[in-house]
Amino acid sequence: MLLGPDDPLPQGLRPRRVLVNGSSGGGKTTLAAALAVDLDLPHTEIDALFHGPGWVPRPEFLDDVAELAASPAWITEWQYSAAQPVLLPRCDLMVWLDTPRPVAMWRVIRRTVRRRLRREILWNGNIEGPLREVFTDPEHIIRWAWSSHPRAAQRVEAVLCDRPELPVVRLRPGDVARWRAGLGS
């Protein structure tokens, strides 16, 4: 069930397990953290479960995702193809940040440069690699953001077929504050 920013959630729905879908740089983690406060839900940043030291995927990742999915209340970002089918059956609301590619790319470039220049420590002690790797690493986050951008919309199409009863709220960047304000009513 695809909803817009001004559509009410189904009668009586008090979301307890929320997935935030969107492209890299689309604002998933920022929105998930804000919604965690709005809805009084624990937020688990899925990148922190995935990335081990040295950017190596953690072997416990899927076990941690299964534990998260089994818990009664949570909000997380909907990414990592191995985790998606574990989380989707348990969620009761999906929020889709439909961020235009130029906006998402600007955000991911700005964030990547800031993290590298400030040597920000990310998940499990990782820091962004040298910026020149955008030219040499086909999996560099900036290149990944560009090539994977259309997948967020494709995932929603599949969800609407597989779980037609699931409320999916589609938000453009300008809709987020208005939709969040309406959650309390």
**pLDDT of amino acid 122:** 93
CA 160 from centroid of its chain's CA atoms: 18
**pLDDT of amino acid 139:** 84
DSSP state of 57: B
Contact 173, 107 (CB under 8 A): no
Phi, psi of 45 (to 5 degrees): -80, 115
Distance CA 99, CA 28 (A): 10
**pLDDT of amino acid 185:** 53
**pLDDT of amino acid 15:** 95
- Enumerate the domain spans of the chain: 2-101+151-183
Determine the topology of domain 2-101+151-183 in CATH. Rossmann fold (3.40.50)
> pLDDT means per 10 residues in the chain (185 residues)?
92 92 92 96 96 94 98 96 96 96 95 93 90 87 90 94 96 94 76
- Terminal Cα distance for the chain, rounded: 20
**pLDDT of amino acid 13:** 85
- Cα maximum dimension of the chain: 51
